A and B are shown apart, each in its own frame.
Chain A
C-alpha cells in the first residue's frame, strides 16, 4: 500500500500540530469565557469536548481522503532506502517474469505486477479477480487465504482459446492497518504448459521408438518360429527367410544407430564445432557412397559445386548431406533428376530466401534458423528432388521425430523417420539454417546453409559440460 503512494508528491501537508493548535486556541477562549463568568462550567466542558472531537474528526478525514500520507513507520523505512526498502522490492516485483498478484478484501486485485497483467490480459484498471480469472478452484483458494488459511497449490487447465496448464500458488498475507480485514492473499501463477507438452512429447517419443523397434522384431520372431517349424527342411524357404531376417535386423540397426546419433548430436548441440570442412569434398564423398543407389534407380545426378569451406565438424556435415541426398534419391521417381548445388559466400537472405526455385505456388518454410549479423556470409547446399512434393500443412512437422508425410509407411527399405531430425540438430549446432521449399507434384528443395569460415571463434567455445 505505502510504496504505491510514495511516488506521488503530497498535495497538502496537514500537520497534527496545526490542528491541535487551532483546537487549543478555541478551548482557551472558552476557558477565558468561563473564568469571566460568561459561560457555565457544563457548557464550557461540552463546548471544549465538541471542539476536540471536531478537530480530531477533521484531521482524520483530511488525512485519509485528501492527502493520504504513508504512515510514519513505512515512510521512515523508505527514506532509509536501504537494500530492504519497499521501493527495491517493487522494482524487483515489476521485473519478475512470473505473474504475482495481491488480492485484497472481497477478491479485489490490489497489486498486479506487469507479468500478471500480461498473463491475465489485465487493463490498467483493476477490479475483482473473478473478472479475469474465473477458475472456481483458484477463487476458492483465494477466499480461503483471505480468511487466513493456508492452501495447497491449485492446478487448472484451459482448453480454449489455446490449451494451457497453470499452477496457482495462493498464500495468506497478514495486512497491517485494517483490523477488519486482517488478511490479504498473494497469488502466484506458474505456466506449466510447456512442461506438460514436453512430458507428452517424451511419452510420444518413447511410444514411437518402441513401436518402430517392435515391428521388425515381430517379423523376426515370426520367421524364427516358421524356421523352427514347418520350414525346417526347406532350403529355399530358409534362404529367403534368412534374407528377410537380415533386412529386418539391418533396419533395427539403422534405427538404433540413428537414435544414438540423434542423442549424441543433441548432447553436443550447445558446443560449437571446431575445425573446417571442405563442402565440395563432402559432396563428392556422398555421391561416391550413394553411387549404387543412384544407378539402381537410374537417377541423373547433376552437381554444381563452387569450392567452399564451412566451419564445422566434417563427419557431422557429411551426415547432413548424406541424409538429404539419400532422401532425394528415395523420394524421386526412377529416372528423375536430382540436383545438388553448392554455393559460396551468400548473404543470409540469398541463402534462406532466394526466389522460389520451384515456381509459382511453392511454399517455403525455415526449419532451423541461426541468429546472424548483417555481415555474415554463408555456404549453402541445395538439394532438389523430383518427388511428389510436400503439402504446405505438412512442412512444419518435417523435422519431428518419426514424422512421415501421410501415406508413407515405414518398411524395410524406408528410412527411420529420424533423418531430418538429425539434420536439424546438427545444423543447429553449427549455427546454420535449414529450409525446405516444396510444390506438390513438382518436388522439393532442401537447403542447408552454414557460416563461412572467417573468424575462428576458438576462444568463445563453451566448455563441454
Chain B
C-alpha cells in the first residue's frame, strides 16, 4: 500500500503496516476468485465447486483473524497516528467487508448446486451480467485499495446505482416469468437469492470504497442529495 511506504524510523513498524496491506490484498484476491467461480458455477449449474469454495472460505476467515491480530498488535505496540491510524482502522473494516463478501460468494456457489436440479432458466444470463458488473466493482475497489487511489474508489461508489438498477430489473422480470409459468418458481427463487447476494456484494464493495476514501483523504465519502 502506497500510504505505508512513507518511511518509518522504525523499519519494523513500516514492515508491519506492509504486512497488513499484504494480508488485505491476499484476502481480496481470494474473495475475488471465489466470486468468479461461484458465478460461473451458477451459470453452468455446476455443483462441483462446493469443496473448493469451502476451502477458500476457510482461508479467508483465517486471514481475517490474522488481520485483526495484526491490527491489535499495531495498536498495542505502535500507537499509529494520522495516515497509519486511518489505514489500520480501515484495514479492520475492509477485512470485515471482505469476509462477508466471501460468505455471500459461498452462498451463491451453494445455490448452484440447488439450481443443478432444475432445467436451465433463461434468466441466468442476466445473473451472469449482474455478476460481471459486481466482479468489476470488486476488482476496481481492490485495485484502488492496493494503489491507494481515491478516484477509482469514488467511481465504484457511484456506479453502485447501476448494480441496484440491474438487480431491480432482474427481480421484476423474474417475478413476471414466475407468475406466467409456475414451473419457474423453484429455480426462480434460487436465482432471486443469487441476485440478492450479488447486490449485497455490490454494497460491500461500496463500503470498501468508502473505507479507502477515508483512509486516503481523512474525510468521509458523502455526496449531496444522496442519503
Instruction: Report the separation of the CA atoms of residues A128 and B140 in the bound assembly, to the nearest whole angstrom.
Output: 18
Q: In the assembled complex, how far is the CB of residue A186 from the closest CB belonging to chain B, in whole angstroms?
A: 19
B21 at the A interface (CB under 8 A): yes
> When the two chains form their complex, are residues B146 and A136 in contact, meaning their CB atoms are under 8 A apart?
no
B139 at the A interface (CB under 8 A): yes
> When the two chains form their complex, are residues B19 and A134 in contact, meaning their CB atoms are under 8 A apart?
no
- Number of A residues near B (Cβ < 8 Å) is 20
Known contacts A130-B29, A134-B32, A136-B59; A160/B136 CB under 8 A: yes
Q: In the assembled complex, how far is the CB of residue A140 from the closest CB belonging to chain B, in whole angstroms?
A: 9
> When the two chains form their complex, are residues B135 and A160 in contact, meaning their CB atoms are under 8 A apart?
yes
Instruction: Report the separation of the CA atoms of residues A72 and B140 in the bound assembly, to the nearest whole angstrom.
Output: 47
B56 at the A interface (CB under 8 A): yes
CB neighbours (8 Å) of B147 from chain A are 131
A114 at the B interface (CB under 8 A): no
Q: Looking at A128, A136, A137, A157, which has the most chain B CB atoms within 10 Å of its CB?
A: A136
Contact pick for B18, options A128, A139, A158, CB 8 Å: A128
> When the two chains form their complex, are residues A106 and B33 in contact, meaning their CB atoms are under 8 A apart?
no
Contact pick for A139, options B21, B29, B56, CB 8 Å: B29
B31-68 near A? 1/0 per residue, CB < 8 Å: 01100100000000000000000001001000000000
> When the two chains form their complex, are residues A134 and B29 in contact, meaning their CB atoms are under 8 A apart?
yes
Known contacts A139-B26, A159-B135; A134/B21 CB under 8 A: no
CB neighbours (8 Å) of B25 from chain A are 128, 130-131, 134
Q: Looking at A131, A134, A156, A157, which has the most chain B CB atoms within 10 Å of its CB?
A: A134
> When the two chains form their complex, are residues A160 and B139 in contact, meaning their CB atoms are under 8 A apart?
yes
Q: In the assembled complex, how far is the CB of residue A189 from the closest CB belonging to chain B, in whole angstroms?
A: 15
Known contacts A125-B5, A159-B132; A135/B18 CB under 8 A: no
Q: In the assembled complex, how far is the CB of residue A118 from the closest CB belonging to chain B, in whole angstroms?
A: 16
B202 at the A interface (CB under 8 A): no
B28 at the A interface (CB under 8 A): yes
Q: In the assembled complex, how far is the CB of residue A129 from the closest CB belonging to chain B, in whole angstroms?
A: 9
Instruction: Report the separation of the CA atoms of residues A107 and B22 in the bound assembly, to the nearest whole angstrom.
Output: 9
- Number of B residues near A (Cβ < 8 Å) is 26
Q: Looking at B21, B142, B146, which has the most chain A CB atoms within 10 Å of its CB?
A: B146
Q: In the assembled complex, how far is the CB of residue B57 from the closest CB belonging to chain A, in whole angstroms?
A: 12
> When the two chains form their complex, are residues A131 and B146 in contact, meaning their CB atoms are under 8 A apart?
yes
A407 at the B interface (CB under 8 A): no
> When the two chains form their complex, are residues B33 and A136 in contact, meaning their CB atoms are under 8 A apart?
yes
**A138-157, CB < 8 A from B:** 139, 156-157
Q: In the assembled complex, how far is the CB of residue A215 from the closest CB belonging to chain B, in whole angstroms?
A: 25
Main secondary structure of the interface of A (DSSP, over half): mixed
Instruction: Report the separation of the CA atoms of residues A157 and B37 in the bound assembly, to the nearest whole angstrom.
Output: 11
CB neighbours (8 Å) of A127 from chain B are 1-2, 5, 18, 21
> When the two chains form their complex, are residues A161 and B136 in contact, meaning their CB atoms are under 8 A apart?
yes
A132 at the B interface (CB under 8 A): yes
Q: In the assembled complex, how far is the CB of residue B124 from the closest CB belonging to chain A, in whole angstroms?
A: 16
Q: In the assembled complex, how far is the CB of residue A97 from the closest CB belonging to chain B, in whole angstroms?
A: 24
B192 at the A interface (CB under 8 A): no
> When the two chains form their complex, are residues A161 and B146 in contact, meaning their CB atoms are under 8 A apart?
no
CB neighbours (8 Å) of B15 from chain A are 106
B89 at the A interface (CB under 8 A): no
B116 at the A interface (CB under 8 A): no
Q: Looking at A107, A137, A158, A159, which has the most chain B CB atoms within 10 Å of its CB?
A: A159
> When the two chains form their complex, are residues B139 and A161 in contact, meaning their CB atoms are under 8 A apart?
yes
Q: In the assembled complex, how far is the CB of residue B94 from the closest CB belonging to chain A, in whole angstroms?
A: 13
B114-153 near A? 1/0 per residue, CB < 8 Å: 0000000000000000001001100110100011000000
**A270-297, CB < 8 A from B:** none
CB neighbours (8 Å) of A134 from chain B are 25-26, 28-29, 32, 142, 146
Instruction: Report the separation of the CA atoms of residues A127 and B142 in the bound assembly, to the nearest whole angstrom.
Output: 16
Instruction: Report the separation of the CA atoms of residues A106 and B140 in the bound assembly, to the nearest whole angstrom.
Output: 25
CB neighbours (8 Å) of B142 from chain A are 134
CB neighbours (8 Å) of A133 from chain B are 29
Q: In the assembled complex, how far is the CB of residue A357 from the closest CB belonging to chain B, in whole angstroms?
A: 39
B85 at the A interface (CB under 8 A): no
> When the two chains form their complex, are residues A136 and B135 in contact, meaning their CB atoms are under 8 A apart?
no
B30 at the A interface (CB under 8 A): yes
Known contacts A107-B22, A131-B147, A134-B29; A159/B5 CB under 8 A: no
> When the two chains form their complex, are residues A160 and B132 in contact, meaning their CB atoms are under 8 A apart?
yes
Instruction: Report the separation of the CA atoms of residues A160 and B140 in the bound assembly, to the nearest whole angstrom.
Output: 9
> When the two chains form their complex, are residues B146 and A132 in contact, meaning their CB atoms are under 8 A apart?
yes
Instruction: Report the separation of the CA atoms of residues A397 and B173 in the bound assembly, to the nearest whole angstrom.
Output: 32
CB neighbours (8 Å) of A160 from chain B are 132, 135-136, 139-140
The residue of chain B having its C-beta at the shortest distance from the C-beta of A137 within the complex is B33
Instruction: Report the separation of the CA atoms of residues A131 and B24 in the bound assembly, to the nearest whole angstrom.
Output: 9
CB neighbours (8 Å) of A132 from chain B are 146
Q: In the assembled complex, how far is the CB of residue A285 from the closest CB belonging to chain B, in whole angstroms?
A: 50
Please, could you name 12 A-B residue pairs with CB atoms under 8 Å apart, sorted by A? A106-B19, A106-B22, A128-B22, A130-B21, A130-B25, A131-B146, A132-B146, A135-B33, A139-B29, A157-B36, A159-B135, A160-B135
Beyond A127-B2, A131-B1, A134-B32, 8 extra complex contacts between A and B, CB < 8 Å: A127-B5, A134-B28, A134-B146, A136-B29, A136-B56, A137-B33, A139-B29, A161-B136
Interface residues of B (CB under 8 A from A): 1-2, 5, 15, 18-19, 21-22, 25-26, 28-30, 32-33, 36, 56, 59, 132, 135-136, 139-140, 142, 146-147
Among all A-B residue pairs, the 9 with the closest Cβ atoms: A134-B29, A130-B25, A160-B136, A131-B146, A128-B22, A136-B30, A160-B139, A130-B22, A136-B29
